[in-house]
Chain A
């Protein structure tokens, strides 16, 4: 129990005194995960909408695949990206392994199925409801996409938040492709894994507390959004 109290006290001290190492790690985590979520959103929304609205061969397979990939363990994805970016792999010439860019790529691929699959569901439901009216207004599926994404905005923001939650909490993918290099690719989750293995629990716990606050913020935002959406009849 003594350990517990001491670790918490030390963790709060690190947070309160703006420990530079701690905040460098926090900022890198945010940079990597937010960039990945941004990229996954830019790619995932059109992809999800296309699978929802257009009839093409393999569409059903694509829908099932997106749903299945939502649950892919981060380590597996990390391993695949590692093999691709390794000097011995097909994209080795880019020299991206063990850089923040590699971590962003891995997390983008991790978040992409979440955003795309949830977007597909939202857009498909809306289109089912709107189709006749929109066609009547002279609006086919292609032109409808921006409108459907806008009308599904609350659900889609929730999907993006879910993606951010997954990205910021995962350790497997960033550990493998980033390598947990101090001052370069060390993020919150990999630092926690490392410090725990060293037995230095204060920094690990401090970062854990920040992750917890982050997760609470994300979920709180999602909750408030749902409330706002319900209030406006969405």
Chain B
């Protein structure tokens, strides 16, 4: 039994040694920080444009987490991310008010669009406002594919339904299909179902698989989509990489950063518009 004890310990000891050997990326002298953003923002490809220029300029690398908006906020509250780039102003302000976020800085905007089948059975091309477009869809009970991930597009969509005095949950499973997916994936569902959907312009242009869908409605103030940066509070979460995150915030709101945003083109179109403003108090 004594012999076995020695032997039994050997496996776990080797395992621990191996784990230690393979974990150098946890430490190291690399200057980096973790940026949490929405999958839709990442899917636009803008980070492939921004991050190399930022890293080239500052030597700081960015670990980009593309998750649902709700998850990103959760990461900030737990101190698992250093900086947020989101499009949910209310939730961002709440984060700052609760002390998890240090400050919120607006940096750029894009807009949402309503897409749907080319035939446009609800004739939303003729609508004056987004609210009217949604009302027409509900009146016809035309299929609508929702992004149910709690992200910015989802929040905006629910707000427009509320304005149109429609309760989509009542029709859930009928004409209203809540995919539970991020908005990029919801576009696949819309494509297959011949359904309408709300998505951001960047996701729409980046969505390479649009065979039957068309952009049917855009350019309404209700579809305006403001992005803000929130620095996670180093007072509340002492381990956060505040310096590196702050470097990114300063760069992105600088003339150079703002110009870099404006330069980004998706299929030849500008989809993000810089509008940096001083931090909110």
Contact = CB atoms under 8 A, between A and B. Distances in A.
Whether chain B is bound by chain A comes out as yes
Interface of A: 3, 31, 35, 38-39, 42-43, 45-46, 50, 86-89, 92-101, 104-105, 108, 140-143, 145-146, 179-182, 184, 194, 196-201
B274 interface: no
30 contacts: A31-B22, A35-B22, A38-B18, A39-B15, A39-B18, A43-B15, A46-B10, A86-B80, A87-B79, A87-B80, A87-B239, A88-B79, A89-B78, A95-B239, A99-B25, A99-B26, A101-B25, A105-B19, A142-B5, A145-B8, A179-B63, A180-B66, A181-B64, A194-B66, A197-B39, A197-B43, A198-B184, A198-B207, A198-B208, A199-B208
B28 to A, nearest CB: 10
A35 B78 contact: no
A201 B19 contact: no
B207 A199 contact: yes
A78 to B, nearest CB: 13
A142 B15 contact: no
B65 interface: yes
A93 B4 CA distance: 35
A141 B4 contact: yes
A182 B208 CA distance: 20
A76 B211 CA distance: 36
A182 B64 contact: yes
Given A87-B237, A88-B78, A198 B206 contact: yes
Contacts of A31: 22
Interface string B179-216: 00110110110000000000000000011111100000
B252 interface: no
A46 B66 contact: no
B226 interface: no
A76 B39 CA distance: 22
B207 A104 contact: no
Given A198-B206, A198-B208, A100 B22 contact: yes
Nearest to B182: A197
Contacts of A50: 8
A181 B25 CA distance: 13
Given A143-B4, A146-B7, A179 B65 contact: yes
